[in-house]
Structure 1
Amino acid sequence: MTLIKNKYYFEALDNFPHYLSDCLDSLNYALSYDPEDADSLCLMGRVYSEVLKDYETAKKYFEEAMQNDVTNVNTPKYYIECLLYNEDYEEADKLIEFALQIKGIDKAEILYCKTLLSERKEEYKYALENLKEARRFSYSRTMLDMLEEKEKLIKNKMPKRRTVKKVE
């Protein structure tokens, strides 16, 4: 049974986001075999969040995924992004702190989400601190490049300090 569910989940993942019709067909099959599968629920949440922009429905799928497997390393990142899109900043902050405790999770990705949260709250100093922390946990050139680009963007957003010229 698990093998069949995994087959449909991987088909859905392969079709996401370019072939949504096929993705949803496969995802519905996967969930019919195991309605509590956290990865399938997470992918359904991503469909609602990233494609349909229905954040409330997406949150329900992500919550269910987290309830069914609290240690799933895939769900928190996408759930946090959904919360940020929906401007649920307090919930996002709590989930970030929880996610950083999950063994095996990509801490750089979660700290990047924490950076996004600080940026959205216009707390640029904290955003830069989070980027520095994320850099410590980055193990790929792709992630480092993304962090460097975000750092440049945040620095450009920071208010410029005015220098006062002394009159002699």
Structure 2
Amino acid sequence: MKTDKLDKFLFQAMDAYPSYLEETVESLGYALSYDAKNTMALCLLGRLHAEQLYDYEGAKTYFEQALAENLHALEVYPYFIDTLLQNEDFDQAEKLIDFALTIKGCNKAEILLKKVSLLERKRAFTAAKEVLKEVKFNAYNSDLHYYISDTEKRLKEKIELSEGKKEKKAKAKKKKK
């Protein structure tokens, strides 16, 4: 019976998020009262803090609690990585990405896309393009194809932009001599 009620409130919270935040919070409260260590509830609470309240440190705490309960809580990794990237915790994000890729059942394409995002934020555009090739090998649905194409275009533009700046700097140095 306890599990039925937990699931009911968890599903209500998931259904309400992000459109009805008050209902989400209320349902999460009930779900966590039945099981304070439920990884799905903790993950959703972490998302709420990161995506709605921009409280990245609070979000990290909830994601860490969820993973402390179950390292195989696959639902946690994409959102935790996003939060780390938003908070510019790049070293921690890189370690989490590398670990997540070792977990059986993990959506490798999704996690590799997080790695592309990390590299892009670090302005390692060429390395990001290389990882994007690996994403293609691990993508098994058409929806992801459009996102990959857009990401490729964006990276190409950034590479061209950064190379253009290098050329301008080189020309400026030659003029000074």
Q: Scaled by the length of structure 2, what TM-score is found? A: 0.89
Residue 76 of structure 1 corresponds to which residue in structure 2? 77
After superposing on structure 2, the runs of 4+ consecutive aligned residues of structure 1 that deviate more than 3 Å are: none
2:102 is paired with a residue whose SS is: coil
Q: CA offset at residue 20 of structure 1? A: 0.3
User: Is residue 56 of structure 1 aligned with residue 57 of structure 2?
Assistant: yes
Q: CA offset at residue 144 of structure 1? A: 1.2
Equivalent AA in structure 1 for residue 135 of structure 2: A
1:1-168 matched pairs, under 5 angstroms:
1-158=2-159, 159-160=162-163
> What is the percent sequence identity of the aligned residues?
43
After superposition, the C-alpha distances for 1:13-51 in whole angstroms (9 at most, x for unaligned) are 101001000011001111110000011100000000011
Residue 166 of structure 1 corresponds to which residue in structure 2? none
Unaligned runs of 5+ in 2: 168-177
Unaligned runs of 5+ in 1: 163-168
Worse overlay, 89-98 or 135-144: 135-144
The size of the alignment, in residue pairs, is 162
After superposition, the C-alpha distances for 1:56-93 in whole angstroms (9 at most, x for unaligned) are 00000000001011001110110000000000000000
- Distance in 1, matches of 2:3 and 2:83, equals 28
- Distance in 1, matches of 2:7 and 2:103, equals 23
- Distance in 2, matches of 1:90 and 1:119, equals 14
More helix by share: 2
Q: Scaled by the length of structure 1, what TM-score is found? A: 0.94
1:160 is paired with a residue whose SS is: helix
